[in-house]
Amino acid sequence: MATESASGSGTTSSPIMIALVAGLALIVAAAGALAVLTGAGAFGGLGDSGGADTPAVTAAVADIPAAYVGPIISAARTCPTLSPGLLAAQLKQESGFNPTARSPAGAVGIAQFTPPTWATHGVDGDGDGRADPLNPADAIPAAARYDCAVAATVARLGDPVRLMLAAYNAGPGAVLAAGGVPPYAETQTYVARILTSAPAMTAAIGAATAPVGAVAPAAAAAIAFARAQLGKPYHLGANGPDTWDCSSLVQAAYATAGISLPRTTYDQAGHSGPTIPLSEINQWRPGDLLFAAGSDGTPDNPGHVGIYLGNHQVLHAPKTGDVVKIAPLDHFERVTGVTRPAALGR
């Protein structure tokens, strides 16, 4: 449930009340999951494309109604701590994708906003002149906006993704007071369930929006894992699961697909599948590895690597002081090599 705690600008709640409200939200979410709609015409005016700048999707995937996939992707792009799969998993946990869900605590809609929180963070996502928490076209981008707002408030305490989810559920004040995820069973369950289901949601969204045959199964699995790490801090030499460097993230991502890669970027460059010509960017595929010189390498002996997502986007763990993120290709370093690890899984 999207709620603000005593330290925020919304309602003031005791820890007991926060836990009770969170529990009620979970009950509503479970009930809502039985009533998920799958016809595009029932989703508050959202068409299959979800807007001019979102991918067209024609079928529901992983229990996500088709009309919501595009808006979820677009909304997640507005917040660096979010990924489409993570946002989809959160909305499923909140309401089972039920746009008319209502909780006894007063939370409403697909994203379960309480009135005070909506008053501060609600948006008019479809430009119809009205910000309505019962309209998914408004509530989905508002959820991403609120996620980003609470993430900025609590990220200094630790894992930004876990803390963001906890703050969305229990309120940022509860997270600040606890110095981390609050010790409420409901909030801890909320966070765990979302993180568990996010990779499957990510893979399903990727499969639904990619051209037929464009994403190999091994690449899809690697991308799903990597997306689930978005927002986690970079630390040189880290091997996960809470911090990563560029090559450990790549190694772990492909390990989920049963493909063993070397640990370091230098070794990965020569032992991660067939080389794809740099000049043939139209032949690059999601899951390909993009290599660059980095801060301690050279064009011939690269020190940095990222995972190509398609559509000129790269997922990577950039540098000390930064987090795992998705960057436009033109914001990535000059690419000096491309390989295709997914080919090793055939």
Q: Distances in Å between the alpha carbon of 101 and those of 48, 143, 277, 290?
A: 22, 15, 51, 43
Asked if residue 24 lies in contact with residue 31, where contact means CB atoms within 8 angstroms, the answer is no
94 is catalytic: yes
Q: Distances in Å between the alpha carbon of 91 and those of 119, 139, 144, 146, 174?
A: 19, 10, 10, 13, 21
Phi, psi of 308 (to 5 degrees): -75, 135
Give the Cα separation of 269 and 300 in Å (integer): 9
Give the Cα separation of 250 and 270 in Å (integer): 14
CB under 8 Å to 331, separation ≥6 — which residues?
A: none
Among 94, 186, 280, 333, the active-site one is 94
Catalytic residues: 94
